[in-house]
Amino acid sequence: MSDPVATSERERRQSHALEIADVSKRFRVAGRQVQALSHVHLAVGEGEFVSIVGSSGCGKSTLLRLVLGLDTDYDGEIRVDGQRVERPGLDRSIVFQEHRLLPWLNVEANVAAALRQSGLAAAERGQLVRDHLHLVGLEQFAKAYPAQLSGGMAQRVAIARALVTKPRFLLLDEPFGALDALTRLRLQDELQ
Ligand SMILES: Nc1ncnc2c1ncn2[C@@H]1O[C@H](COP(=O)(O)OP(=O)(O)OP(=O)(O)O)[C@@H](O)[C@H]1O
Ligand SMILES: [Mg+2]
Protein backbone atom coordinates (compact mmCIF):
# COMPACT_ATOMS: atom_id res chain seq x y z
CA MET A 1 0.00 0.00 0.00
CA SER A 2 1.30 3.46 -0.83
CA ASP A 3 2.26 5.86 1.91
CA PRO A 4 -0.72 8.26 2.41
CA VAL A 5 1.56 11.20 3.17
CA ALA A 6 3.61 10.64 0.02
CA THR A 7 0.39 10.23 -2.00
CA SER A 8 -1.13 13.49 -0.78
CA GLU A 9 2.19 15.26 -1.44
CA ARG A 10 2.11 13.90 -4.99
CA GLU A 11 -1.50 15.03 -5.48
CA ARG A 12 -0.71 18.47 -4.14
CA ARG A 13 2.19 18.80 -6.56
CA GLN A 14 0.14 17.56 -9.49
CA SER A 15 -2.57 20.11 -8.79
CA HIS A 16 0.07 22.85 -8.97
CA ALA A 17 1.75 22.83 -12.35
CA LEU A 18 3.99 25.69 -11.27
CA GLU A 19 5.25 26.25 -7.73
CA ILE A 20 7.24 29.20 -6.51
CA ALA A 21 8.44 28.17 -3.06
CA ASP A 22 10.00 30.71 -0.69
CA VAL A 23 11.89 32.52 -3.45
CA SER A 24 14.18 35.41 -2.58
CA LYS A 25 16.46 37.30 -4.93
CA ARG A 26 19.09 39.96 -4.23
CA PHE A 27 20.98 42.09 -6.70
CA ARG A 28 24.15 44.05 -6.09
CA VAL A 29 23.75 47.51 -7.61
CA ALA A 30 26.62 50.02 -7.31
CA GLY A 31 28.00 48.25 -4.23
CA ARG A 32 24.60 48.12 -2.53
CA GLN A 33 22.34 45.09 -1.97
CA VAL A 34 18.89 45.37 -3.50
CA GLN A 35 16.31 42.88 -2.27
CA ALA A 36 14.22 42.32 -5.41
CA LEU A 37 12.17 39.40 -4.07
CA SER A 38 11.64 38.31 -0.48
CA HIS A 39 10.10 34.93 0.41
CA VAL A 40 7.66 34.73 -2.49
CA HIS A 41 5.21 31.82 -2.51
CA LEU A 42 2.87 31.16 -5.41
CA ALA A 43 1.22 28.03 -6.76
CA VAL A 44 -0.40 28.00 -10.19
CA GLY A 45 -2.67 25.19 -11.33
CA GLU A 46 -3.25 23.87 -14.83
CA GLY A 47 -5.26 26.32 -16.94
CA GLU A 48 -5.09 29.12 -14.38
CA PHE A 49 -4.63 32.76 -15.39
CA VAL A 50 -2.74 34.61 -12.65
CA SER A 51 -1.95 38.32 -12.56
CA ILE A 52 0.92 39.73 -10.49
CA VAL A 53 0.26 43.33 -9.53
CA GLY A 54 2.63 45.69 -7.76
CA SER A 55 4.40 49.03 -7.91
CA SER A 56 7.34 49.72 -10.20
CA GLY A 57 10.48 47.95 -8.98
CA CYS A 58 8.67 45.48 -6.70
CA GLY A 59 10.14 42.51 -8.58
CA LYS A 60 7.51 41.38 -11.11
CA SER A 61 9.88 41.12 -14.08
CA THR A 62 12.55 39.54 -11.89
CA LEU A 63 10.12 36.81 -10.84
CA LEU A 64 9.16 36.09 -14.47
CA ARG A 65 12.85 35.86 -15.45
CA LEU A 66 13.38 33.27 -12.72
CA VAL A 67 10.33 31.25 -13.84
CA LEU A 68 11.64 31.38 -17.41
CA GLY A 69 14.94 29.94 -16.14
CA LEU A 70 17.10 32.84 -17.35
CA ASP A 71 18.57 33.30 -13.87
CA THR A 72 19.09 30.45 -11.40
CA ASP A 73 21.00 32.48 -8.80
CA TYR A 74 18.32 32.85 -6.10
CA ASP A 75 17.16 31.32 -2.82
CA GLY A 76 14.17 29.01 -2.67
CA GLU A 77 12.85 26.83 -5.44
CA ILE A 78 10.77 27.12 -8.61
CA ARG A 79 9.26 23.85 -9.76
CA VAL A 80 7.30 22.72 -12.80
CA ASP A 81 5.47 19.47 -12.07
CA GLY A 82 7.65 19.09 -8.99
CA GLN A 83 10.90 19.39 -10.98
CA ARG A 84 13.24 22.30 -10.27
CA VAL A 85 13.54 24.77 -13.17
CA GLU A 86 17.20 24.86 -14.21
CA ARG A 87 17.12 26.59 -17.60
CA PRO A 88 14.76 27.98 -20.25
CA GLY A 89 12.64 25.36 -21.99
CA LEU A 90 10.10 25.07 -24.79
CA ASP A 91 7.37 24.63 -22.14
CA ARG A 92 7.71 28.31 -21.06
CA SER A 93 7.35 31.38 -23.31
CA ILE A 94 7.45 35.07 -22.54
CA VAL A 95 6.17 38.26 -24.17
CA PHE A 96 7.98 41.39 -22.98
CA GLN A 97 6.72 44.96 -22.77
CA GLU A 98 8.67 45.83 -25.94
CA HIS A 99 8.35 43.28 -28.73
CA ARG A 100 12.11 42.44 -28.90
CA LEU A 101 11.79 41.15 -32.46
CA LEU A 102 15.02 40.68 -34.39
CA PRO A 103 15.13 43.66 -36.79
CA TRP A 104 17.13 41.81 -39.48
CA LEU A 105 14.55 38.99 -39.77
CA ASN A 106 11.14 39.34 -41.36
CA VAL A 107 7.94 38.50 -39.49
CA GLU A 108 7.78 34.81 -40.39
CA ALA A 109 11.49 34.30 -39.64
CA ASN A 110 11.05 35.97 -36.24
CA VAL A 111 8.26 33.54 -35.34
CA ALA A 112 10.15 30.57 -36.84
CA ALA A 113 13.19 31.43 -34.71
CA ALA A 114 11.31 30.16 -31.64
CA LEU A 115 11.10 26.70 -33.25
CA ARG A 116 14.84 26.27 -33.87
CA GLN A 117 15.22 23.90 -30.90
CA SER A 118 11.91 22.11 -31.50
CA GLY A 119 13.30 19.24 -33.55
CA LEU A 120 10.37 19.57 -35.99
CA ALA A 121 10.83 19.17 -39.76
CA ALA A 122 10.98 22.36 -41.87
CA ALA A 123 7.55 21.75 -43.43
CA GLU A 124 5.96 21.32 -40.01
CA ARG A 125 7.63 24.46 -38.72
CA GLY A 126 6.44 26.42 -41.76
CA GLN A 127 2.86 25.30 -41.16
CA LEU A 128 2.99 26.22 -37.47
CA VAL A 129 4.35 29.67 -38.33
CA ARG A 130 1.58 30.24 -40.90
CA ASP A 131 -1.09 29.03 -38.44
CA HIS A 132 0.13 31.39 -35.73
CA LEU A 133 0.45 34.41 -38.04
CA HIS A 134 -3.15 33.68 -39.04
CA LEU A 135 -4.12 33.50 -35.36
CA VAL A 136 -2.83 37.04 -34.76
CA GLY A 137 -4.19 38.30 -38.10
CA LEU A 138 -0.84 38.99 -39.74
CA GLU A 139 -0.60 36.42 -42.52
CA GLN A 140 -0.42 39.29 -45.04
CA PHE A 141 2.67 40.63 -43.29
CA ALA A 142 4.77 37.46 -43.20
CA LYS A 143 7.48 39.03 -45.37
CA ALA A 144 7.45 42.45 -43.65
CA TYR A 145 10.28 43.56 -41.36
CA PRO A 146 9.69 44.74 -37.76
CA ALA A 147 10.46 48.38 -38.70
CA GLN A 148 7.53 48.25 -41.15
CA LEU A 149 4.98 47.31 -38.45
CA SER A 150 2.94 49.36 -36.00
CA GLY A 151 3.52 48.85 -32.27
CA GLY A 152 0.40 46.70 -31.94
CA MET A 153 1.34 44.57 -34.96
CA ALA A 154 4.85 44.01 -33.60
CA GLN A 155 3.39 42.89 -30.26
CA ARG A 156 1.10 40.49 -32.13
CA VAL A 157 4.17 38.98 -33.82
CA ALA A 158 5.76 38.63 -30.39
CA ILE A 159 2.62 36.83 -29.17
CA ALA A 160 2.71 34.51 -32.21
CA ARG A 161 6.38 33.80 -31.46
CA ALA A 162 5.53 33.00 -27.83
CA LEU A 163 2.61 30.70 -28.75
CA VAL A 164 4.15 28.87 -31.72
CA THR A 165 6.01 26.41 -29.48
CA LYS A 166 2.66 25.58 -27.79
CA PRO A 167 4.12 26.34 -24.35
CA ARG A 168 2.42 25.16 -21.18
CA PHE A 169 3.22 28.49 -19.53
CA LEU A 170 2.79 31.83 -21.20
CA LEU A 171 4.52 34.57 -19.20
CA LEU A 172 3.37 38.09 -20.05
CA ASP A 173 5.47 40.98 -18.76
CA GLU A 174 3.14 43.93 -19.37
CA PRO A 175 3.08 43.05 -23.09
CA PHE A 176 0.60 45.80 -23.98
CA GLY A 177 2.02 48.50 -21.71
CA ALA A 178 3.54 50.50 -24.56
CA LEU A 179 0.36 50.53 -26.68
CA ASP A 180 -2.46 53.08 -26.84
CA ALA A 181 -5.53 52.31 -24.72
CA LEU A 182 -7.79 51.11 -27.56
CA THR A 183 -5.20 48.78 -29.11
CA ARG A 184 -4.44 47.48 -25.62
CA LEU A 185 -8.10 46.61 -24.95
CA ARG A 186 -8.44 44.87 -28.31
CA LEU A 187 -5.26 42.81 -27.88
CA GLN A 188 -6.26 41.83 -24.32
CA ASP A 189 -9.50 40.41 -25.74
CA GLU A 190 -7.68 38.68 -28.59
CA LEU A 191 -5.14 37.13 -26.28
CA GLN A 192 -7.77 35.75 -23.93
N1 LIG B 1 19.77 42.83 -13.72
C2 LIG B 1 19.61 43.56 -12.61
N3 LIG B 1 20.68 44.01 -11.92
C4 LIG B 1 20.53 44.69 -10.77
N5 LIG B 1 19.35 45.01 -10.25
C6 LIG B 1 18.25 44.61 -10.88
C7 LIG B 1 18.32 43.87 -12.10
N8 LIG B 1 17.04 43.59 -12.50
C9 LIG B 1 16.24 44.16 -11.58
N10 LIG B 1 16.95 44.76 -10.61
C11 LIG B 1 16.40 45.44 -9.41
O12 LIG B 1 15.40 44.59 -8.85
C13 LIG B 1 14.27 45.33 -8.44
C14 LIG B 1 13.03 44.76 -9.12
O15 LIG B 1 13.08 45.04 -10.52
P16 LIG B 1 11.99 44.49 -11.52
O17 LIG B 1 12.44 44.83 -12.89
O18 LIG B 1 11.76 43.05 -11.23
O19 LIG B 1 10.71 45.32 -11.09
P20 LIG B 1 9.24 45.37 -11.73
O21 LIG B 1 8.27 45.02 -10.65
O22 LIG B 1 9.20 44.53 -12.96
O23 LIG B 1 9.08 46.91 -12.08
P24 LIG B 1 8.32 47.65 -13.31
O25 LIG B 1 6.86 47.66 -12.95
O26 LIG B 1 8.91 49.02 -13.30
O27 LIG B 1 8.61 46.88 -14.57
C28 LIG B 1 14.57 46.78 -8.77
O29 LIG B 1 15.03 47.41 -7.59
C30 LIG B 1 15.71 46.72 -9.77
O31 LIG B 1 16.59 47.81 -9.63
MG1 LIG C 1 8.92 44.97 -14.98
pLDDT along the chain (192 residues), means of 10: 56 75 95 95 93 95 96 96 93 92 98 94 96 93 97 93 94 88 84 81
Give the number of domains in the chain.
Answer: 2
For the CA of 63, the closest atom of ligand 1 is 18
Q: Which of these, 117, 115, 175, lies nearest to 151 by C-alpha position?
A: 175
Domain match, 100 and 173 both: yes
Q: Which of 50, 68, 87 lies at the terminal end of a domain, its last residue?
A: 87
User: CA 126 to CA 124: how far, in whole Å?
Assistant: 5
User: CA 94 to CA 185: how far, in whole Å?
Assistant: 20
Q: What is the pLDDT of residue 51?
A: 94
- Ligand 1 midpoint to CA 60 (Å): 8
- Ligand 1 midpoint to CA 36 (Å): 7
Q: What is the pLDDT of residue 189?
A: 83
Q: Which of 35, 63, 87 lies at the terminal end of a domain, its last residue?
A: 87
Q: Which of 87, 117, 136 lies at the terminal end of a domain, its last residue?
A: 87
Domain match, 68 and 16 both: yes
Exposure of 56 by Cβ count < 10 A (0-12 exposed, 13-18 middle, 19+ buried)?
A: exposed
Domain match, 102 and 186 both: yes
- Ligand 2 midpoint to CA 139 (Å): 30
Q: What is the pLDDT of residue 129?
A: 97
Q: For residue 41, what are the contacts with CB-CB under 8 A and spacing of at least 6?
A: 20, 21, 22, 23
Q: What is the pLDDT of residue 182?
A: 86
Domain match, 80 and 98 both: no
Q: Which ligand is nearest to the CA of 59?
A: 1
Domain match, 64 and 122 both: no
Residue to probe by mutation, ligand 1, list 20, 23, 32, 34, most atoms within 8 Å of CB: 34
Domain match, 58 and 114 both: no
Cβ of 2 below 6 Å from ligand 1: no
Task: Identify the CATH number of the domain in which residue 135 sits.
Answer: 3.40.50.300
Domain match, 46 and 111 both: no
Q: What is the pLDDT of residue 7?
A: 56
User: CA 176 to CA 156: how far, in whole Å?
Assistant: 10
- Residues within 5 Å of ion ligand 2, judged at the Cβ atom: 60-61
Cβ of 61 below 6 Å from ligand 1: yes
What residue numbers bound the domain in which 130 lies? Answer: 89-192
